[in-house]
Amino acid sequence: MIQVSSYLFLGAFVAYLASAVLYVTRLTLRRRDPRYFDLADRLGSHGYKAAVAGVILQGLAIAARWIGSGQVPLANMFEYMSFMGWSIMLFFVILSAWYKLPGLGAFVAPVGVVVIAYASVFPTEVRPLVPVLQSVWLPLHVSFAALGEGAFAVSFGAALMYLLRVRKEQTNQWEEAALEFTFFCGAILTGFIVLALGFKIGGYSAEVTNLAGGVTVLEYTLPPFIGPVGSVRGEATFLGLQLPLVHAPTWMRGAYAAKNLNTLLLSTVAGTILYGLIRLTARVPLRELGTRAVGNMNPKLLDEVSYRGIAVGFPLFTLGALVFAMIWAQKAWGRYWAWDPKETWALITWLFYSGYLHMRIVRGWEGRPAAWVAALGFVIVMFTLVGVNLLVSGMHSYV
């Protein structure tokens, strides 16, 4: 059953990828020549079908994994991230049906693909649940939070499109820089996924001595250019290079700090190369490419889609990430709130989106400022999911 699930998962990934490619091709064609409109629209409708097929396949994959393992498949980073990717695509499918806005696909489907690919970086094997996770609140807390975050992701895509659309009329240098930086970060994330998946498939692994944080041997899945404190040059090799070249600064005390720093460095290098290649090929800044892709879509509608994403996601997120989380924490540890970093970041996310929702009813704050907040909101979501685990430790150590 687990094997079946992984085939279905692969099928879903291929479908999402096809959907993203079809949507992007559609936009490119539409821009080229009005004669291609009909062909482009056919591609767009195939893109939608591919997205629907992907959502169904992944739904089956989740069900198969659930049946095969006998436990809710929402207990580790792979399972969580892929579920979130699923909910992004699910909300995209729903919102697309509501709004008939195929252009959205070229921005949201790639986000879904990236999240699913990111999920595949983590170990995929089924692990038995530790005692604290054996609760009915696990599926409730995790699925609702992930559904909310999926809707926020769609909102992020639409807000980005809105900002790219309206910069033709009004902009300033800060917003221009921020937009370009958003694309650069996207390139780094893509760089990370390409590296991580490449080395995972290639089966690369290196073990290096570590003197920080109580873990004596640190296992790297990427070549250790930066080793931990205590590592010696030559402990690992990559393409004949004696690694690590340097070790992490001593003030970084976390057990995995050096590994994370190394990953960040390599991803930034890969991302910069990727960004540079696109920049050189296109001969314009990436934000300009984005603006061309968005074309003359109705900005009001984009703004509305971005708002709807948050309006749909906010109650789900409130229920999953705060209400169910608090009830579960009370049941498991006897305290509904402990200011654990993950918990606090969920609150920060919630406060931030609450701020957004109030902004929408304040005159003068509803347009571009709100769109920036909607875009930044999803960055906070991702930091809560990924960054908190890398930076700080807490009770929420499983995912």
Partner 1 sequence: MDEQGVKPQKDLLDRTWDFFASVRVATVLLFLLAVASIGGTLIEQEGMYASSLPPEEFYPQRYGPVFGMLLLRTGMTHAYSSWWYLTLLFMIAASLVICSIERFVPLWRAVQRPNPAPDKEFVRRLRHGFTFPATGDAPYGELAAALKARRYLVIEQEGRLYADKGRLGRWGPYITHIGLLLVLIGAGMRALPGVYLEQFIWVRDGEIVKVPGSDFYVESLGFEVEYYETGQPKSYMTHTRVIDANGNAVKTETIAMNEPLAHNRVELYQSSYYADYGQAEIALVDRQSGAEIDRFTLDLIQPDRVYAVGGYRLELVSYFPDFGIDEDGQPATRSSRVHNPGLVLQVTPPDADPFTTWFFPLYPGVEFDDTTPVRFVTQDVTTVYTSGLQVKKDLGLPVIYIGLLVMTVGVFATFYIAHRRYWAFTEDGQVVVGGWTNRNQGSFERETLQIAHHLDPERYALADEMEGEER
Q: Which residues bind partner 1 (CB under 8 A)?
A: 34, 37, 98-104, 127-128, 130-132, 134-135, 137, 295-298, 301-302, 304, 308, 311-312, 314-315, 318-319, 322-323, 326-328, 330-337, 339, 341, 344-345, 347-348, 351-352, 354-355, 358-359, 361-362, 365, 388, 391-392
Count the neighbouring beta carbons within 10 Å of the beta carbon of residue 46. Answer: 16
166 or 301, CB closer to partner 1?
Answer: 301
Residues 6+ apart with CB under 8 A from 324: 137, 140, 141, 144, 145
202 or 334, CB closer to partner 1?
Answer: 334
Cβ 104 to partner 1, closest distance in Å? 8
14 or 386, CB closer to partner 1?
Answer: 386
Alpha-carbon distance 218 to 262, whole Å? 12
86 or 307, CB closer to partner 1?
Answer: 307
| H runs (alpha helix) in the chain | 2-32, 37-69, 77-99, 105-121, 137-166, 173-202, 257-282, 286-294, 299-317, 325-333, 341-359, 368-382, 388-391
Beta bridge partners of 241: 238
Cβ 307 to partner 1, closest distance in Å? 9
Alpha-carbon distance 115 to 101, whole Å? 22
Instruction: Please choose, from the candidates 109, 169, 153, 110, the residue with its C-alpha nearest in 3D space to the C-alpha of residue 296.
Output: 169
Question: What is the DSSP annotation of 239-295?
Answer: TTEEE-SEE--TT--STTHHHHHHHHHHHHHHHHHHHHHHHHHH-S-HHHHHHHHHT
58 or 79, CB closer to partner 1?
Answer: 79
Decide the pairing of beta strands 236-238 and 226-227.
unpaired
242 or 330, CB closer to partner 1?
Answer: 330
15 or 303, CB closer to partner 1?
Answer: 303
Cβ 105 to partner 1, closest distance in Å? 11
Instruction: Please choose, from the candidates 306, 295, 309, 310, the residue with its C-alpha nearest in 3D space to the C-alpha of residue 166.
Output: 295
102 or 224, CB closer to partner 1?
Answer: 102
Contact 242, 227 (CB under 8 A): no
Check whether the bond before 223 is cis (ω within 30° of 0).
no
Residues 6+ apart with CB under 8 A from 193: 114, 117, 118, 121
Structural tokens at position 248 = 């992490």
Alpha-carbon distance 335 to 378, whole Å? 28
Alpha-carbon distance 140 to 399, whole Å? 15
Alpha-carbon distance 225 to 289, whole Å? 34
184 or 365, CB closer to partner 1?
Answer: 365
211 or 326, CB closer to partner 1?
Answer: 326
Cβ 136 to partner 1, closest distance in Å? 9
Cβ 242 to partner 1, closest distance in Å? 35
Contact 73, 79 (CB under 8 A): yes
